[in-house]
Structure 1
Amino acid sequence: MLPPVFATGCFLARLEDKRTSVAASPPRVWALLSHRAGESSQILALAEALAWPYERKVMHYRWSAGAIGLIRVSASAGVAARSRAELEPPWPDLLITSGLRNEPVARWIAAESGGATRVVFIGRTWAPVEHFDLLVTTPQYRVTPAPRVLENSTTLQAVTVEKLKRAESEWHSRLANLPRPHIGVIVGGNSGPYTLGANGGRRLAAEVSRYAQKLNGSLLVTTSSRTSKEAVAEIESNLTGNYDFFPWRKNTPNPYFAYLASADELVVTGDSIAMLSEACATCKPVSVYDLGRATLAMRHERGRREKPGDWLRQDDFRLSAMTYWLLMKIGPRRLSRELRIVYERLLAEGRMGWFAEPPPAGPVPPLADVERTVARVSAMMSERHCDRD
């Protein structure tokens, strides 16, 4: 049975009945998917929320695709020959995409359409934002505010009551006998300056196990595609008490959404803003598990001094993590992300707390980022239709 929060109207209705009518017939929409699963999830989340028919476009790329994106040109040269047939007229009225490799392609499609195609780009761009009709971004990218920029608190996601109910029903027999409260634990992996290795996995398993036992509850633990084999092994070996553990496997059905549905509260490793966004979309209590230590902790206040020597105090050392940290200090902003900005925003909005600390007071406010984006895109397409008339 879904926890009572689902009866409170926490989920905002998608704007299917509130969108401005753009035409007698819906616009032609292409969802140009990314080679990164997280980016593609956001593309599809927006395409589905708009509720217009859309075509998925899956590209294969040449080795030069990334370099072409970096030099900020409008071109299809990075697309492999076997995918070129996907890029033929009639051109879409609306193109939704993300990722460095897709930037030149999106601009090329807009040019080939004679400017008729509206391009919505998700994340951040290397080319100036003026080359796109709308950039949908989040705080970690530190994008300069502009008329064509929409900054949301969280990433776009497709968590809905219906999806959670289906998942909970599908996996009911697996979870039904676990004592409540259910504590969902969503585990990511290495990201930027943060590392989750064997030692971190061992610490995580021990700490969440103690927490669940203190509540006489059960853990629902799942990993992701970025969780290292070493971390997975240590988590599985060190979980104690009542728990269900499901390590991520490629092309294997996963109880992830069932965990979101069944959990009374959620613990998310702080490396993934996408997973954190999906957890927040449930309007359940969410706490972030800090993968860092000392002054390199995720909760360390931005602007306060960080001690380089604290790299020796981390659970797991990763040279590329330290290199990324240095890049954040001395490199251009566009080369890095600052996840702490997102934590600060969500803490201020009462959407998250830190694991093992008191949760935010009061009810969790509903997310409206998807709805806000749908409204912005619908208005843009309505203006386009009026211009044509």
Structure 2
Amino acid sequence: MVTPPDPGAASVWVLLGARHGDNQQLLAIADALGVPYRTVPLRFNVAAGLPPVLLGASRLSWGRKDPAALQPPWPRVVLAAGRKSVPAARWIRRQSGGRTRLVHINRPWAPLSWFDLIVTAPQYAVPERPNVLSHRMPFMPPPVLIDVPLPRALQAQAARLPRPWTLVMVGGDSRPFVLDDEAAVGLARLVNAQVRAQGGSAWVLGSPRTPATAMDVLARTLDVPVHVVRWGEGENPYAALRQRADRLVVTTDSASMLTEALLTGKPVVPFALPRQPDWRWRLATAWRAAAARRPGSMVARSFDALQDLGLLSSLRDLGLLHRALEAAGAFDGRGRVLDIARQEREATLARIRALIDRR
């Protein structure tokens, strides 16, 4: 983290919310900018469930432990993510007399015109606008080149497992995706086929969202040399195994987990989890698809207009992300995805630096 001697003099403020993935992406951007910044952890109340268009630039839905910390000099740029942080970002801009620029990550669930820059990805289906920068992957720093050792408790097991290694990164339920017993059987069969075709063995890593029952089914169905690591069992070998694996199999419920796998530069095989969409997901997805089929129609114009007003936002559809990555050749194992990630990082940083430098 780059911090100035006087935190109040930071040119960038990073609003941290309750979502770990959003916070990590914001901090990665702030670190990469190379300018002084400060973090502003936010606390939300029940009013945060209201749409940002109703809350405006108020403090009705959010606060922080030290209210006195929100004082001038105001930042040149605020980095934020998520719907709940929008009123806080707008409140800071209002205090600055409109001079603070707002950068929002992913989707704001608010009028797009409120923001100087929105950095998003295909799964959010944010419409094309001059202030929208759409990339195929979330912002993540380049892979760490420093060797990460395997936990001592796993070193003996690692010596017994034949090479090459297939690392299986298992997610879990994330609306509308579900990891049920049937999906666990399908994943195990895919891993069995991969190991038989490539030789060697597999490491299977669970995550905080992996259902225990699905992990049991997965372990029982695997019939190749394998070691299963459940979440919370000892020291996490995730980073070490990403470095050491020869190929990866990843469930498709997490954009960040998929991106971390792709940034290894090794062959990645995605495993699509089944969907159990609710009526809201079905309605929003059908409306978006109808608008895409007939761009000039009343359906398309109403869809775009409601998104611009912040009254409608497409629910996350990771299928759009997978198709965009596949079209870019991200899964061919040739390392092309590393160039894509580098170009997208540079484009994001250039746009934000331009906002910081703008007088």
Instruction: Tell me if both proteins adopt one fold, taking TM over 0.5 as the criterion.
Output: yes
**8 Å CA contact 1:223, 1:247 repeated in 2:** yes
Q: CA deviation at 1:283?
A: 1.7
Q: How does 1:221-300 map to 2 (within 5 A)?
A: 221-249=204-232, 253-292=235-274
Task: Tell me the distance in 1 between the aligned counterparts of 2:92 and 2:57.
Answer: 9
The normalised TM-score by structure 2 is 0.80
Determine the structure 1 residue equivalent to 2:72.
89
CA gap of 1:52–1:218, structure 2 versus 1, over 3 A, is farther
CA gap of 1:244–1:32, structure 2 versus 1, over 3 A, is farther
CA gap of 1:169–1:185, structure 2 versus 1, over 3 A, is closer
The alignment of Structure 1 onto Structure 2 pairs a total of residues equal to: 325
Q: CA deviation at 1:103?
A: 0.9
CA gap of 1:90–1:153, structure 2 versus 1, over 3 A, is same
The equivalent position to 1:329 in structure 2, one of 268, 277, 286, is 286
Task: Tell me the distance in 1 between the aligned counterparts of 2:14 and 2:147.
Answer: 25
1:376 partnered with 2:351: yes
Determine the structure 2 residue equivalent to 1:308.
none
Determine the structure 1 residue equivalent to 2:148.
167
**8 Å CA contact 1:27, 1:94 repeated in 2:** no
Structure 2: gaps (5+ residues)? 1-8, 289-302, 304-311
Q: 2:252 corresponds to which letter in structure 1?
A: G
Q: How does 1:107-146 map to 2 (within 5 A)?
A: 107-146=90-129
**8 Å CA contact 1:183, 1:263 repeated in 2:** yes
Q: CA deviation at 1:159?
A: 4.3
Q: CA deviation at 1:326?
A: 4.6
1:103 partnered with 2:86: yes
Q: CA deviation at 1:44?
A: 1.6
Q: Among the aligned pairs, what percent are the same residue?
A: 34
What is the DSSP-based 3-state SS (H/G/I as helix, E as strand, rest coil) of the residue aligned with 1:234? Answer: helix
Structure 1: gaps (5+ residues)? 1-25, 297-317, 353-359
Q: CA deviation at 1:78?
A: 1.0
Task: Return 58-67 or 200-209, whichever deviates more.
Answer: 200-209
Q: CA deviation at 1:36?
A: 1.3
Task: Tell me the distance in 1 between the aligned counterparts of 2:48 and 2:337.
Answer: 41
Q: CA deviation at 1:71?
A: 2.8
For the aligned residue pairs, the C-alpha RMSD in angstroms reads 2.8
Task: Tell me the distance in 2 between the aligned counterparts of 1:287 and 1:127.
Answer: 35
Q: CA deviation at 1:361?
A: 7.8
The normalised TM-score by structure 1 is 0.74
1:344 partnered with 2:344: no
